[in-house]
Amino acid sequence: MPNRLIHETSPYLLQHAHNPVDWYPWGEEALQKAKLENKPIFLSIGYAACHWCHVMEEESFKDPQTASFLNQHFISIKVDREERPDLDNLYMSAVVSMTGQGGWPMSIFLTPDLKPFYGGTYFPPIPRYGMPSFLEVLEGIQRIWQTERQNIDSVAEKISEYLHETNQWRTFAAPQINLDLLDQAAKNLIQYYDQQNGGWGRAPKFPQPMVIEFLLHRHLRNQPDSLEIARHALDVMQRGGLWDVVGGGFHRYSTDSRWLVPHFEKMLYDNALLAQAYLHAYLLTGDFTYRHTCERTLDFILREMTHPSGGFYSSLDADSDGEEGKFYLWSKTEILSAIRSLLEREIFMETYPLPDEGNFEGKIILQSRAPLNILASRHNMSTQAYLEKLDVPLQQLFRLRSERVRPRTDDKIIVSWNALALRAFAEAGHYLQRHDFLQAAQNNAAFLVDNLIKGDTLYRTWREGISRTPAFLEDYAGLAVALLTLYQLDGNPRWYAESQRLNNWMMARFQDPHGGFFDAAQQSSNTPVLPKYPQDNPIPSGNALAAHALMLLWAFEESDSHLDKAIELLATLQQTAAEYPTAFAYWLQVQDFAAGPIQQVALVYPSESDQPHLKWFNPAVTPYHPRRILAQTAYPLPENTPKIFEGKPVVQNQPTAYICQNFSCKQPLVDFEEYARTISEGFA
C-alpha cells in the first residue's frame, strides 16, 4: 500500500512511496496534523544518490516494527534536500549545532511549531558505531515528549534562537573591494594546501573547483604559487579514482587522502563546476590534459545526464545492483580480456597499474601512475597523441561496462544546477570551438526559460512536465548569470532580456531590508526562520550569485544601483571570505572581478552583416579572461539593447569594435588587424 509520497515527482521521495512508514511530503497537511494531534515531527532529509539514505531505508523505514512506532507516535515527513535547500540548510545548521557534524540522511525531530530539539544523521537498526539504534532513539524521544515536555520546549527554544542569530547578517556600505584581503585569502589557501596528496583538509576530500578558479584568477594578478597550487589540485583529481577514467565525469568526493577511493555518486553541479575549472586552466596554460578532462566531462553529461528536450538531470546513484560502486570496479581479468591488442594492453598497463590483488576490496579502481603529459613525454609523444592511443582500450572497457546494471538516475531538473552546467557548456562551446557544446547550452537555456518560468514565477525543479516548488535565490541569480554568460558568446538578445527579468524579480522578492538577500522568498516560505545562508559549499551561495549577477548587469547597463548593491554585499563578506576561503571561494571570485579592471568589448555591425562576431570574438583573437565582458549587436540598435551600446555607432558601415576599460573607451576600431593587436594591451 503506497503512502502519500506516491503523488510526488521527486525520485528520492518516490523511492520511499512504498515504505510502511506513513510518510508525508513537507506541506500544510502534515504540519497541521502535528499541531492538531500534538505530536513531534520526525523530519528525514536526503537525496536520491545518497548511499546511506538507501541503507537507512532498507534497515529502518522498511521495517514494520519501526514503521509502526513512527506511525503511532510521530508525524513523519520526508524531504528531498535538492528540492528544498532552504529546509536543508536551516535544519542542517541545527543538527551541526547539536552534534558537531552533519550529513545525509539528516534525521531531525521538531515540535509542531517546527522548532528542532534533537537530531543526527544515519541511525543504525541495532546499537553499533557508538550510536543507539533508531528505534531506541524514537522510544526515548516519545517517552520524554510525554513526561518532560517542558525540557523539550526549552531546548527547542534555545536552538531556534541560535538559528535566528546565525541566519541573520547585515550588510554595510563600503566604497571598494580590499585587494589586500584577496591576497590574504590566496595566501591562506596556499599555506594550508596538502602539498603531498593535493587538496584541502583531511579525508574525506572534496573537489574544490571554486577554490581552484579563484587561484587561477589570482595567477592573472601575479600572485606567487597560485597557478602551481591550482594545477596540482587539478592534476591529482584527473589521475583517476575521483575521475571516471572509463566513462568521464567526476564522483562526489574521495574517501581517502590520496584521491583513490571515491564515494561513487555523480552530481551535476560537481561536473559542471569542474568542467569549467579545467576549461579555464587549459585556456590559461595550454595543458591539453585539462582540455581533455573538460571535454570528456561535458561529453559524459550530454550522454548520460541530458533530457531529450535539453534539461540536465541531477545525479547518478552511487549504488548499482545493490552495491556501492559496483558499476565502476574492475578485475584484472576483465580488463585484459576486454583489451584485445597486445600493443593496446602495453600502453594501458604502462598508464594504469593492474595489481592482481586489486587496490580496493579485491577490485581495481583505475588510477594513472603519473600525470598523463609526463607519461606521454616518456614515449616522445604529444599529450594529445598519447590520449588518442589510450582512447581505444578505454572505449573497449566502456562497451563492456555498458552491459552492467547501471546506477539509477535522478532525472529531475534543478534550475540552479542546470545554470552551472549551462555556463560550462557555453564557455567550452565558444573557447574550444565545439558547436555541439554551444548548442547544448542554447537548448538548455531555452528549456529552462520555456518550462520553468510560468507567468511571473520561476520554479525550482521540473520532472515529467511538472513543476511545483517556487524557485530560490540561487535559482534566480544563478540562471541570470548563466544567461548573461551565454548572451556574451552567442549574442542572442533573448538571453539578455530574460536575465533582466529574473534580476528584477530577484530584487523584488528576496531582498532583506537589513541588506543582502534571503535564500527563499518570504511569501512562499513556510519555514520558522527565513534562511540567509552565506557559505558557498558545494555550490555557489545564492547571495554570491546575486552579487555576480548585479556586477555583470552593471557592466552591461552602467547602472550605479547595480554596482552599489553588489559592492555592499561583497564588502560585507570579504573579511570572512579571506579568513575561511574554502567556504567562500565563489565570493572571492566575484570580489576579484569587482576589484577590476573590467574590460568591455562592444561590437556593433550593420544589420546585413553575416555574424562578424565569429571572426572578431574568435578565441584566438579575443582570448578568455575572467574580467572581460563581450557584447555584440546589429545596428541600428534593436529594442532592449544594453546601455553599453549607447553612443557607439558603426563606422564606415563596417563592423566596429569599442574596447573600454572601467568605462573609458579607446577609439572605435574597424580594422580587424588593429583590433587583434589592441585587445589585450594594458589589460591584465
pLDDT per residue as tens digits for the range 268-292: 999 999 999 999 999 999 999 999 9
179-325+409-595 shares the fold of 4-167: no
Question: Cα–Cα distance between 678 and 684 in angstroms, integer?
Answer: 13
> Does residue 452 have a pLDDT over 90?
yes
Q: Which three cell numbers stand for residue 392?
A: 581505444
> Does residue 525 have a pLDDT over 70?
no
pLDDT confidence tier of residue 239, bands split at 50, 70 and 90: very high
H-run or E-run covering 603? strand 599-606
> Does residue 467 have a pLDDT over 90?
yes
Distance, C-alpha 632 to centroid of its chain: 29
Tell me the pLDDT tens digit for each residue of 611-649: 888 899 999 999 999 999 999 999 888 888 999 999 999
Q: Which three cell numbers stand for residue 440?
A: 547544448
**Which residues fall within 8 angstroms of residue 445, CB to CB, at 6 or more apart?**
422, 482, 483, 486, 495
pLDDT confidence tier of residue 514, bands split at 50, 70 and 90: confident
The fold of 4-167 is Glutaredoxin (3.40.30)
Domain 179-325+409-595 has CATH 1.10.3720.10: no
Number of H helices, E strands in the chain: 25, 20
One-letter amino acid identity for 156? Answer: A
DSSP string, 430-447: HHTT-HHHHHHHHHHHHH
> What's residue 523's pLDDT?
62
> Does residue 557 have a pLDDT over 70?
yes
> What's residue 174's pLDDT?
72
Question: Cα–Cα distance between 457 and 414 in angstroms, integer?
Answer: 15
**Which burial class, exposed, middle or buried, applies to 672 when counting CB atoms under 10 A from its CB (0-12, 13-18, 19+)?**
middle
Q: Which three cell numbers stand for residue 7?
A: 503523488
> What's residue 128's pLDDT?
87
> What's residue 531's pLDDT?
87
**Which residues fall within 8 angstroms of residue 426, CB to CB, at 6 or more apart?**
437, 438, 441, 482, 485, 486, 489, 490
Q: Which of 386, 388, 394, 376 is nearest to 339 (CA)?
A: 394
Q: Tell me the percentage of the chain whose pLDDT exceeds 70.
A: 100
Domain locations along the chain:
4-167, 179-325+409-595, 328-401, 599-678
**Least confident range of 36-50, 125-139, 403-417:** 125-139
Strands 262-263 vs 266-267: parallel, antiparallel or unpaired: unpaired
Question: Cα–Cα distance between 469 and 26 in angstroms, integer?
Answer: 11
- What is the separation, in whole angstroms, between the first and last Cα of the chain? 65
**Which residues fall within 8 angstroms of residue 274, CB to CB, at 6 or more apart?**
207, 209, 237, 250, 293, 297
Report the predicted TM-score, pTM, of the whole model to 2 decimal places: 0.96
HSE value, Cβ hemisphere, 13 Å, CA-based, for 490: 28
Residue 95 sits at φ, ψ, to 5 deg, of: -60, -45
Average pLDDT, the chain: 94
Contact status, residue 439 vs residue 298, Cβ threshold 8 Å: no
Question: Cα–Cα distance between 112 and 235 in angstroms, integer?
Answer: 50
Find the length of the chain: 684
**Which burial class, exposed, middle or buried, applies to 621 when counting CB atoms under 10 A from its CB (0-12, 13-18, 19+)?**
middle
Question: Cα–Cα distance between 258 and 199 in angstroms, integer?
Answer: 9
